[in-house]
Chain A
Amino acid sequence: MLTLRNLTCGYGRTPVVHDVNLDVGTDQVVAVMGHNGAGKTTLLRAVVGLLPAMTGTIELDGRDLTRTPTHRRIAHGMAYVPQGQQCFAHLTAGENLRLVADGRKHGKTLIDEQLDRFPALRPLQNRQAGLLSGGQRQQLAIARALITEPRLLILDEPTEGIQPNVVAEIEAAIVDLARSGLSVLLVEQHLGFALQAAAQYAVLRSGRVASHGATGAGARERVREAMAI
């Protein structure tokens, strides 16, 4: 599925993430953890093409996407839910979804499927997305990503800054998606959820992979040690 080899990326000429090797297998959830500033978001932005790779390669199902523009990576099967419950604030919730469904076969069905997944969004379709709560905006962001029918879903701190009852709903949706056969690359601060949802983990420290492996027995301790908690 997703293969990163010796990926170095950053801002301008300053590398932030160094020589990262990471694999996300088909139907697999991989959690990337680390402190603030460790390079997690930078890594995801490079994977999806919002930052250029300085060196190294990004492959999806054997296809080299290292120099491919973001919208083409989405067409190849990646979907990205950025940090901070981002939505198109001046479009309605419904327009946020239609924007992605436009031009797709069965676009309306795809929207309906996501409204079934996040029923709270159904009555809010005519509301300006910028006026929704943080939790509603995050559900909208995940729904929007899923309408692109991805094979790999990339989530950047999906539960950060969201009220606890909605966090549970979002976590349940992610677990459900993983069970349905979607590959997921997840950046998550909540250790418990990350290790529960993922089969593999990687800990970033100062932009380098400090620890990685399966999330089975002893993983929590290894992660805590790598993060120096």
Chain B
Amino acid sequence: MDLLVGQLFTGLSTGSILLLAALGLSLTFGQMGVINMAHGEFIMAGCYTAYVVQQIAGDAGVSLLIALPLGFAVGGAMGLVLEALLIRHLYHRPLDTLLVTFGVGLILQQVARDVFGAPAVNVSVPPALRGGVDLLGVTVPKTRLFIMGLAIVAVTAVALVLRFTPAGRRIRAVVGNRDLAETAGISSRAVDAGTFFIGSGLAGVAGVALTLIGSTSPTTGQSYLVDAFLVVVAGGLGRIKGAVVAAVALGATQAVFETYSTASLAKVGVFIVIVVFLQLRPQGLFTLRTRSLA
């Protein structure tokens, strides 16, 4: 029983990390169809934002509170610049976008190496988040609980913005039919920029959160990129609830495999599960039902 509960929490925890990393991507890739290989570097930028803020502020708790919104702003600003300078000119050219953003990712990694050095750096966990909490006989690290909470808040915020705000309606409209959105008086370019800002900003938030459970190096973000893409594709493109279910399912699958094998073999197991799943259901978990595709 303890083992099962332990694995459940590990799965949820891994799932929430995946979800945080993938949530921004579900906007930029899932909603807009942009394959941004530099998304991982936006996560890395969030990690280094947390590191820099802590170097300046000193106090781990205060610096975390500052780093979360600042990480969003830093990631968002980087996304905005990337969208305006490169991606805007490459819409409808996915392979070019993939190559260009991959190159941008490598450049950003090198910049991080030049500024912060190649060795990993660590961010201190605030005292309030140190240690664990006993839940159903299992000790769960507080940092993991915090990340779960942050993932829930981030997903809820994104879902509420998309569902209930004028900006969210505009994003969904442009995603659904770009030309029609223009004829409804919506500037699709402005919406693209805004969507990219939010998606990249969420990557920055994910980066700040990841410093609570691991060290930061120039390649930190890259290690989450493939998993993030898997979550978005398996969940169904553009479907936030799909990303949530897929992230938790992937996290749980990985946790179960890790119990009986190594982390590397667990990864192989997860890939096999996804390959089989996408063979059976290429459209992902959730799709849109309509009479017409208009």
Contact = CB atoms under 8 A, between A and B. Distances in A.
Contact of B166 (A103, A131, A132): A103
Interface in B29-66: none
A84 B288 CA distance: 19
Contacts, number: 93
B288 A130 contact: yes
Given A88-B177, A89-B176, A95-B169, A131 B291 contact: yes
A66 to B, nearest CB: 16
Contacts of B176: 88-91
B177 A86 contact: yes
Given A71-B182, A100-B184, A86 B172 contact: no
B184 A148 contact: yes
B290 A90 contact: yes
Contacts of A71: 182-188
A86 B41 CA distance: 39
B3 interface: no
Contacts of A102: 166, 169-170
Contacts of A98: 166, 169
Contact of B290 (A70, A84, A89): A89
Nearest to B177: A88
A71 B291 CA distance: 27
Interface in A126-180: 128, 130-133, 137, 144-145, 148
B169 A84 contact: no
17 contacts: A50-B179, A69-B187, A70-B182, A70-B183, A71-B182, A71-B184, A84-B292, A85-B292, A85-B294, A86-B294, A89-B291, A89-B294, A99-B166, A99-B186, A103-B166, A131-B289, A137-B292
Contacts of B293: 89
Most A-side CB within 10 Å, residue of B166, B177, B290, B294: B294
Contacts of B112: none
A87 interface: yes
